[in-house]
C-alpha cells in the first residue's frame, strides 16, 4: 500500500459509532459559522470557509493517523495569508483567491517534503508540560476574543489583550438581545452536560438560537446574524494564475511560514489528545494527511487548512473518539452547500460566540497547571511562559516557543546525567551507588555507569567524573570499566573526549574497558577508530564478563586481586 489509510477511523466500535456521528453533527453546527468567520481574516469569499471542511477535512480523515485532529480553516494561517497578499491583489478578488490557492499548493509541497525527510520527529520535542501551557493559552485567547460578540459590541483590536481593553471601553454599548442569546446558549450547554455528557447541548442550543432568531427577528433589535450565504459546490481545478518562477519565489517564504505553523500546531494538538487518551499517532503519517488536505484545498478553491485546536476540542467535547465524526461533518457540509445555506443566514453571531467561548474555557487546564506546580515547579514556569506567549503574542509564536522550551528542558535534564558507580553487594547483586562513593567491584576494578547518550553537552561531565574517580581510587585502579547500556549514540565531541580519557588513564597505568555496548554504538566506535585504540578485547558483553576477565588477567598486577 503506497499510502496508509483509515488509521484515524478504524477500528469502528458499534457502541461508539453513534456518538461519533452525533459529534460530527455538533461539529458541523459549530464549525460552519466559525470557518465562515475565518474568511474575514483571510480576505476570501465567505463560501470558501465551508470549502475548507468539505474536501480537505475528508482527505485528512482518510489519510491522517490522529483519531482526534480536526483539519480546517485556522486563524493563524489565515492571518499569515492576509498579511502576505496585501499589496499583491485586492482582498476578496478572484486574483486574491487564486494566490491563496497557490499558497495552499506550496504549503502542501513543504509538508510532503517534510514527510519524505521525516521531520515529524519535531513533535517529539513538545513535552506534556508545554502542551498544557499551549492549550491553556489558546483557550484564554479564544475565550477573550469572543466576549465582544457575546455582548453585541463593535469589538476591534489586535490580539486578545487589545480586544478585551476595547470591550471594556465599549461595554456601555452592550446589546441585551445578544447578551440574552449568549446566556441562554451557555445555560443550555452547561445544563445538558450536568444531566448527561452524551446530550449534544451545543447542537440543541445552536438550532434553538436559529429558530428564535427567525421567529423574533432578532436582527431588527440589533443582534447581528450571519446573513446570506451562497450555495453550490466548489469547482475543481488548478489555481488560475501564471505559474512563473517570480511568483513562486515571492510566495515561498509565506508558504514556508505557514508550513511551520501547520507542522507545529497540528503536531501539538494531535500529541495533546493522543496523550489524553493514551493513544499512538504517527507525525509522519499526519504530514501526508495534512499535505493532501492542502492539495484538496487548492483544487477546490479555498485557502490553507491546518490542524485546529478549537475545532478538535469541539468534537472531543461532543464525545468523538475517531475521524468518523469528521467524515460526518463533511457530509453535513455537503448537504448544507446543496440545500441548507438559507437557514444559516439567521444564525445569531452571539450564539456562535457563546459556544466558542465555552470551548475556550474548556481548553484552559487549570487542574493540569496545578498538578505541574505541585509536582514539578520548574516545569510550571515553562507551561506558564508558553501560555503567556500564546495569549500576548500569538499561537504560532507560542508553539515555536513551546518546541524551543521543550528542547531546552530536554537538554537541561540530559546533559547533567545521573551517573553511578556499580558494585555487587554481599549477595552478589549489582547496586548503583553515587559517583561520590567510588566503591570498587574488585580491588583495582571500578565500574562506572554512564546514564545517557554521549554528546557534546555532557562530554565534559564524562571526562571530569572518570578522571576524579581514577585519581581518588584507593587502592589505585588497574581497570576502569564504563558500563554503557544506556549509551545510544556517541557524537564527534564525545568520541574525542573518550580518546582523551583513554590517554589520561593510560598514563596512570589504568586500562579502559567497556561493557554492554549496543551494536550501533560499536559501529560508531569503529568509525571513530576508537575500537582499534582501545583494543577489540576491551569491549565486553556484560559486567560479569568484565569481572571474570579481570580476575583472570595476566598483566602483572594480580596481586591487587
Do residues 368 and 452 share a domain?
no
Say yes or no to pLDDT of 257 above 90. Answer: no
359, 390, 410: which is the final residue of a domain? Answer: 410
pLDDT tens, 47-59?
999 999 999 999 9
349, 382, 410: which is the final residue of a domain? Answer: 410
> What integer best gives the mean pLDDT of the chain?
89
Domain residues for 91? Answer: 14-410
Contacts of 236 (CB under 8 A, 6+ apart): 299, 300
Reported for 171-180, long-range contacts at CB under 8 A and 24+ positions apart, including other chains, are 175/151, 175/221, 175/222, 175/223, 176/152, 177/152, 177/218, 177/221, 177/222, 177/223, 178/149, 178/150, 178/151, 178/152, 178/222, 178/223, 178/224, 178/348, 178/349, 178/350, 179/150, 179/151, 179/152, 179/350
pLDDT at 198: 66
Do residues 195 and 166 share a domain?
yes
State the SS3 of 262-284. Answer: HHHHHHHHHHHHHHHCCCCCCHH
Do residues 440 and 541 share a domain?
yes
pLDDT at 275: 85
pLDDT at 462: 95
Q: Which range scores top for mean pLDDT: 93-102, 127-136, 383-392? A: 93-102
Q: Which residue has the higher pLDDT, 391 or 180?
A: 180
- CATH code of residue 528: 3.30.750.24
pLDDT tens, 473-515?
999 999 999 999 999 999 999 999 999 999 999 999 999 999 9
pLDDT tens, 336-356?
999 888 888 888 989 888 887
pLDDT at 146: 85
Do residues 365 and 429 share a domain?
no
pLDDT grade for 38, boundaries at 50, 70 and 90 = confident
Per the domain annotation, does 154 fall within a domain?
yes
- Across 137-146, 329-338, 552-561, least confident range: 552-561
| CA torsion angle 486 488 493 499 (round to 10) | 70
pLDDT at 560: 47
pLDDT grade for 553, boundaries at 50, 70 and 90 = confident
Question: How many domains are there within the chain?
Answer: 2
Per the domain annotation, does 50 fall within a domain?
yes
Q: Which residue has the higher pLDDT, 87 or 526?
A: 526
Say yes or no to pLDDT of 280 above 70. Answer: yes
Do residues 346 and 398 share a domain?
yes
- Across 30-44, 296-310, 392-406, least confident range: 392-406
What is the mean pLDDT of the segment spanning 370-389? Answer: 89
pLDDT grade for 175, boundaries at 50, 70 and 90 = very high
pLDDT tens, 318-338?
889 999 999 999 999 999 999
Say yes or no to pLDDT of 469 above 60. Answer: yes
* Contact criterion met (CB below 8 Å) for 273 and 111: no
pLDDT at 499: 97
pLDDT at 391: 85
pLDDT at 393: 82
What is the mean pLDDT of the segment spanning 183-189? Answer: 93
What is the mean pLDDT of the segment spanning 227-241? Answer: 88
Per the domain annotation, does 5 fall within a domain?
no
Q: Which residue has the higher pLDDT, 285 or 411?
A: 285
pLDDT at 561: 44
- Residues 320 and 69: their CA atoms lie apart, in Å, by 11
Do residues 365 and 442 share a domain?
no
pLDDT grade for 84, boundaries at 50, 70 and 90 = confident
Per the domain annotation, does 269 fall within a domain?
yes
What is the mean pLDDT of the segment spanning 203-220? Answer: 90
Per the domain annotation, does 310 fall within a domain?
yes
Do residues 482 and 350 share a domain?
no
Per the domain annotation, does 2 fall within a domain?
no
410, 444, 459: which is the final residue of a domain? Answer: 410
Do residues 444 and 359 share a domain?
no
Say yes or no to pLDDT of 37 above 50. Answer: yes
Instruction: Scan for cell 499510502, then name that residue.
Output: 3
pLDDT at 414: 67
Per the domain annotation, does 29 fall within a domain?
yes
pLDDT at 145: 83
pLDDT at 402: 72
Report which of 117, 180, 178 is spatially closest to residue 152, judged by C-alpha positions: 178
pLDDT grade for 1, boundaries at 50, 70 and 90 = very low
Do residues 18 and 111 share a domain?
yes
Per the domain annotation, does 7 fall within a domain?
no
Do residues 349 and 221 share a domain?
yes
Q: Which helix (H) or strand (E) holds 174?
A: none
Amino acid at each position: 500500500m503506497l499510502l496508509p489509510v483509515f488509521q484515524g477511523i478504524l477500528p469502528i466500535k458499534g457502541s461508539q459509532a453513534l456518538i461519533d456521528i452525533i459529534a460530527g453533527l455538533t461539529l458541523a453546527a459549530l464549525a460552519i459559522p466559525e470557518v465562515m468567520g475565518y474568511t474575514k481574516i483571510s480576505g476570501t469569499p465567505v463560501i470558501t470557509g465551508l470549502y475548507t471542511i468539505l474536501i480537505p477535512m475528508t482527505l485528512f480523515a482518510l489519510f491522517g493517523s490522529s483519531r482526534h485532529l480536526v483539519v480546517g480553516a485556522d486563524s493563524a494561517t489565515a492571518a499569515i495569508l492576509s498579511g502576505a497578499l496585501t499589496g499583491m491583489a485586492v482582498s476578496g478578488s478572484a486574483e486574491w483567491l487564486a494566490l491563496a490557492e497557490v499558497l495552499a499548493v506550496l504549503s502542501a509541497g513543504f509538508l510532503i517534503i517534510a514527510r519524505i525527510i521525516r521531520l515529524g520527529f519535531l513533535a517529539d520535542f513538545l513535552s506534556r508540560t508545554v502542551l498544557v501551557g499551549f492549550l491553556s493559552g489558546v483557550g484564554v485567547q479564544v475565550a477573550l476574543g469572543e466576549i465582544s460578540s457575546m455582548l453585541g459590541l463593535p469589538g476591534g483590536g489586535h490580539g486578545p489583550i487589545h480586544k478585551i481593553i476595547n470591550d471594556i471601553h465599549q461595554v456601555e454599548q452592550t446589546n441585551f438581545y445578544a447578551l440574552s442569546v449568549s446566556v441562554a446558549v451557555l445555560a443550555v450547554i452547561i445544563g445538558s452536560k450536568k444531566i448527561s455528557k452524551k446530550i449534544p447541548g451545543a447542537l440543541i442550543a445552536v438550532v434553538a438560537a436559529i429558530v428564535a432568531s427567525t421567529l423574533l427577528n432578532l436582527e431588527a433589535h440589533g443582534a447581528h446574524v450571519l446573513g446570506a450565504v451562497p450555495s453550490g459546490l466548489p469547482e475543481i481545478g488548478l489555481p488560475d494564475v501564471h505559474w512563473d518562477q517570480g511568483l513562486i519565489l515571492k510566495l515561498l517564504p509565506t508558504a514556508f511560514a505557514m508550513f511551520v505553523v501547520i507542522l507545529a500546531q497540528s503536531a501539538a494538538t494531535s500529541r495533546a489528545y493522543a496523550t489524553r487518551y493514551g493513544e499512538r499517532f504517527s507525525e509522519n503519517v499526519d504530514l501526508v494527511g495534512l499535505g493532501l488536505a492542502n492539495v484538496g484545498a487548492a483544487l477546490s478553491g479555498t485557502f490553507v487548512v491546518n490542524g485546529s485546536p478549537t475545532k478538535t476540542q469541539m468534537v472531543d467535547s461532543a464525545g468523538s473518539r475517531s475521524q468518523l465524526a469528521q467524515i460526518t461533518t463533511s457530509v453535513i457540509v455537503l448537504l448544507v452547500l446543496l440545500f441548507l445555506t438559507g437557514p444559516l443566514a439567521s444564525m445569531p453571531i452571539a450564539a456562535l460566540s457563546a459556544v466558542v467561548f465555552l470551548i475556550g474555557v474548556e481548553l484552559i487546564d487549570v487542574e493540569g497547571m496545578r498538578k505541574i506546580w505541585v509536582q514539578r515547579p520548574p516545569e510550571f514556569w515553562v507551561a506558564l511562559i508558553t501560555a503567556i506567549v500564546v495569549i500576548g503574542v500569538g499561537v504560532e509564536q507560542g508553539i515555536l516557543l513551546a518546541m524551543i522550551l521543550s528542547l531546552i528542558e530536554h537538554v537541561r535534564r540530559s546533559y547533567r546525567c545521573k551517573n553511578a558507580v556499580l558494585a555487587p553487594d554481599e549477595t552478589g547483586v549489582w547496586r548503583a551507588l553515587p559517583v561520590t562513593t567510588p566503591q570498587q567491584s574488585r580491588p583495582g576494578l571500578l565500574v562506572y555507569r554512564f546514564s545517557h547518550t554521549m554528546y557534546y553537552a555532557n562530554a565534559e561531565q564524562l571526562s571530569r567524573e572518570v578522571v576524579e574517580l581514577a585519581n581518588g581510587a584507593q587502592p589505585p585502579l588497574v581497570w576502569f570499566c564504563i558500563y554503557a547500556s544506556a549509551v545510544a549514540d556517541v557524537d564527534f565531541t564525545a568520541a574525542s573526549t573518550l580518546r582523551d580519557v583513554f590517554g589520561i588513564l593510560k598514563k596512570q597505568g589504568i586500562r579502559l574497558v567497556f561493557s554492554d555496548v549496543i551494536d550501533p554504538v560499536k559501529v560508531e566506535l569503529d568509525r571513530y577508530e576508537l575500537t582499534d585504540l582501545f583494543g577489540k578485547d576491551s569491549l565486553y558483553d556484560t559486567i560479569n564478563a568484565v569481572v571474570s576477565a579481570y580476575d583472570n588477567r595476566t598483566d602483572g598486577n594480580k596481586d591487587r586481586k
